[in-house]
Structure 1
Amino acid sequence: MHKSRSRYGHEVTFRYYEDGNTQPVRVAGSFNSWGNSKDTLINNEYGVGEMTLELEAGRHEYKFIVGENSWKQDPKNLP
């Protein structure tokens, strides 16, 4: 996850890569009421799914949803 300052909060880029994954990947979290339908990552030229959202400043929790309903923690952002 990458953060940069914007006029209204922070632009945050979520990235997800799993070798061999061909299913859609979405991001759900405290910033979208844990909704799992609209925030779908788009694969870049390297095959990494990514999406940039503008979030209010503060702490946000999130997970990736792979396929229909496989919720996964961000492997690059584990405690």
Structure 2
Amino acid sequence: SNACDFVGIARPVCIQFNLPQILLDPTIPDKDARALQYDIRGSSIFSLLPIPGGRSSCATVWYNWQMQRVAIENREPDPTL
């Protein structure tokens, strides 16, 4: 049906702005049309704490930080932060 589901694409786009173009480009093979791989440093520590959803809260802050770098500070996103 040529359908594509973009649910959940917002977070990867925070650090890879051209991801929608990559995913929709018919000249890029499916095996190469992927989001960048990155790890949110320090988030695993939150899984040790008795705070429900602590790790996901840390991830939300990290993505917000990336958006702030771009929108307010006029800097490139940095997946190594």
Q: Which has the higher strand share?
A: 1
Q: TM-score, normalised by structure 1?
A: 0.23
| Structure whose residues are more often helix by fraction | 2
Q: Which structure would you say has the larger Rg?
A: 2
